[in-house]
């Protein structure tokens, strides 16, 4: 082993030296090092910081170590502490990966990235870093709640708003030369008060000039499905990340966001198989099902399908150039109101009744319905309506009673458009919004004037 230092950083040099010493010992080293892992057993203190940290239990574990909830006695707050495992502490590559993760996140001061507070090592050479505790659920967990079923307006609208914040976090990281490389729903945390954090930067790639400390990264968590040296989570992985020597850049993270959007729309993983070799081949060829084919019973707006397909293009040059371009199209989709609530009516069920007051119009997505009037007890059909037909439109610009009834002929799926949705969608200063707002206002003024004249005529 050379005595020449690998780094001018005392902490990293000390950790690498300790790792090489452990690596050079017998295979029993890991077993002998188990007492080190117990250094943070319940209510124990770190040996190197005896008066500052108290352990409060484990938050999680992975292939390289575990995350503990600890109490910072000096600052009187709880923090999350990520601790390298004994096995990983014996590997210089794992040690360097761990330190680089802490430093990569430490330089990313952003509202949607959990801040790192401290990087250090205990007396036994076990590395750790502390960071903000995020309380809440992951997006993966949220998507499996019954009230957030695929196809619901709430899931689509709220999910996209979460992804907009993820795009902000990634855009900031990319501006600092950091690529996440493991964007997935399980790494997106939703706080108890609506906060959104992009977590787990353990596979982050720092784009900087090569130095003598730059070495290939070791395999990460076993949950990341490492096959043939491929790093990342294959259900969300861009094809270039699964091929040795291929360029991985910010468009690879665009693909990751697209894969999460795919999961949000369909309720399925991009590559849902369990055979790792088969899935890896699907990743390399970008052989995923079209969103509509993957979830044929779920209504997926055509406009958002175009967004997800562009984000998931096999060739990075055909994807969005960066996450801000993807964010722009997601915002356009939301502001266009194309996440309207979906309602289903059975054959024969009446959708609107003649004479009733309502503020909603309907767009037919699937099935057929018919408009009719009842004259002397007889039903007279006015017209039949299929997909892409609109009815009840006068209700969104006036308060006039319905002039006809509409009933489902077959099972029919409709999008409901209310006056409130129209007002929300027209809240911006775009010229289209101002024009439609003016037309609606003129229509209401004419309606009010006609009602006034009608009243005056009736009083004579």
DSSP H or E run through 67: strand 65-72
Q: Specify the residue for token string 């259900």.
A: 235
Could you say which of 182, 200, 224, 253 is catalytic?
A: 182
Helix segments in 235-301, DSSP class H: 250-266, 276-285, 291-294
CA distances from 41 to 54, 77, 95, 403 (A): 9, 19, 22, 73
Counting Cβ atoms within 10 Å, is residue 173 exposed (0-12), middle (13-18) or buried (19+)? buried
DSSP H or E run through 117: strand 116-121
What pLDDT is recorded for position 144?
Answer: 92
Q: Are 339 and 156 in contact (CB under 8 A)?
A: yes
Q: How far apart are CA 321 and CA 318, in angstroms?
A: 8
Name 128's Cβ contacts closer than 8 Å, sequence gap at least 6: 46, 81, 82, 83, 84, 119, 120, 121, 122
Q: Are 11 and 120 in contact (CB under 8 A)?
A: yes
- Please confirm, yes or no, whether 182 is among the known catalytic residues: yes
What pLDDT is recorded for position 8?
Answer: 61
Q: Are 153 and 101 in contact (CB under 8 A)?
A: no
Name 38's Cβ contacts closer than 8 Å, sequence gap at least 6: 44
Q: Are 115 and 168 in contact (CB under 8 A)?
A: no
Counting Cβ atoms within 10 Å, is residue 419 exposed (0-12), middle (13-18) or buried (19+)? middle
Q: Are 29 and 37 in contact (CB under 8 A)?
A: no
Name 236's Cβ contacts closer than 8 Å, sequence gap at least 6: 182, 183, 184, 255, 256, 259, 260, 269, 270
What pLDDT is recorded for position 340?
Answer: 73
324-329 long-range Cβ contacts below 8 angstroms, 24+ apart:
324/167, 324/171, 326/167, 326/254, 326/257, 326/258, 327/164, 327/167, 327/168, 327/171
Per-residue pLDDT of the chain (460 residues; tens, 9 = 90+): 455 555 566 777 777 777 777 666 644 444 444 344 444 343 344 444 445 788 888 887 766 778 888 888 888 899 998 888 877 888 888 888 888 888 888 889 899 999 999 888 877 778 888 899 988 999 999 999 988 999 888 899 999 999 999 999 999 999 999 999 999 999 999 998 889 999 988 788 877 533 222 323 333 332 233 344 567 889 999 999 998 767 889 999 999 999 999 999 999 999 988 888 899 999 999 999 999 999 998 888 888 999 999 999 999 999 999 999 999 999 988 877 656 777 899 999 999 999 888 888 899 988 999 999 998 888 999 999 999 899 988 877 777 788 899 999 999 999 888 877 676 555 556 666 677 667 767 766 776 776 677 677 766 6
What pLDDT is recorded for position 451?
Answer: 67
Q: Specify the residue for token string 């790093």.
A: 231
11: nearest Cα among 140, 72, 102: 102
DSSP H or E run through 72: strand 65-72
Pairing verdict, β 188-191 and 178-179: unpaired
Q: Are 124 and 48 in contact (CB under 8 A)?
A: no
Cα dihedral sign for 256, 261, 266, 267? positive
What pLDDT is recorded for position 19?
Answer: 72
Q: How far apart are CA 363 and CA 386, in angstroms?
A: 9
Cα dihedral sign for 218, 41, 13, 114? positive
pTM beyond 0.85: the answer is: no
What pLDDT is recorded for position 85?
Answer: 83
Helix segments in 290-384, DSSP class H: 291-294, 302-311, 323-335
E strand map for 26-64: 53-61
Counting Cβ atoms within 10 Å, is residue 426 exposed (0-12), middle (13-18) or buried (19+)? middle
Q: 239 is written with which tokens? A: 């094809």
189: nearest Cα among 50, 80, 104, 85: 80
């Amino acid at each position: 082993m050379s005595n020449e230092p690998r780094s001018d950083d005392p902490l990293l040099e000390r950790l690498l030296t300790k790792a090489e010493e452990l690596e050079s010992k017998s295979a029993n080293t890991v077993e002998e090092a188990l007492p080190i892992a117990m250094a943070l057993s319940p209510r124990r203190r770190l040996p190197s910081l005896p008066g500052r940290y108290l352990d409060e239990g484990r938050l999680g574990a992975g292939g390289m170590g575990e995350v503990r909830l600890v109490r910072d006695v000096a600052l009187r707050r709880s923090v999350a502490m990520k601790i390298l495992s004994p096995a990983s502490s014996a590997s210089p590559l794992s040690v360097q990966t761990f330190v680089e993760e802490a430093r990569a996140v430490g330089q990313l001061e952003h509202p949607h990235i959990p801040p790192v507070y401290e990087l250090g090592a205990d007396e036994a050479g076990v590395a750790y870093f502390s960071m903000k505790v995020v309380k809440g659920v992951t997006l993966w967990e949220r998507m499996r709640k019954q009230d957030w079923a695929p196809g619901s307006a709430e899931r689509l609208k709220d999910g996209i708003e979460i992804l907009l914040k993820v795009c902000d976090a990634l855009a900031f990281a990319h501006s600092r030369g950091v690529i996440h490389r493991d964007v997935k729903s399980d790494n997106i945390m939703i706080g108890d008060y609506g906060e959104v954090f992009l977590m787990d930067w353990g596979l982050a790639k720092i784009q900087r000039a090569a130095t003598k400390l730059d070495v290939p990264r070791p395999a990460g968590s076993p949950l990341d499905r490492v096959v043939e040296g491929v790093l990342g989570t294959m259900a969300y992985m861009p094809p270039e990340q699964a091929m040795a020597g291929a360029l991985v850049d910010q468009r690879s993270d665009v693909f990751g966001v697209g894969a999460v959007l795919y999961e949000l729309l369909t309720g399925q993983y991009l590559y849902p198989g369990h055979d790792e070799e088969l899935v890896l081949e699907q990743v390399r060829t970008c052989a995923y099902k079209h969103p509509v084919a993957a979830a044929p019973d779920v209504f997926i707006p055509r406009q958002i399908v175009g967004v997800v397909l562009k984000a998931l293009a096999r060739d990075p040059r055909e994807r969005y150039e960066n996450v801000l371009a993807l964010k722009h199209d997601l915002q356009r989709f939301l502001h266009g109101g194309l996440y309207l609530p979906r309602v289903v009516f059975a054959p024969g069920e009446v959708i609107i009744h003649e004479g009733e007051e309502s503020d909603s119009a309907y767009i037919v997505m699937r099935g057929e319905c018919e408009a009719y009037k009842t004259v002397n007890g007889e039903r007279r059909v006015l017209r039949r309506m299929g997909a892409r037909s609109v009815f009840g439109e006068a209700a969104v610009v006036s308060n006039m009673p319905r002039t006809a009834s509409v009933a489902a002929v077959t099972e029919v799926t409709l999008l409901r458009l209310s006056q409130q949705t129209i007002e929300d969608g027209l809240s911006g200063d775009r010229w289209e919004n101002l024009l439609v707002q003016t037309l609606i206002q003129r229509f209401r003024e004419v309606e009010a004037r006609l009602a006034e004249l009608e009243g005056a005529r009736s009083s004579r």
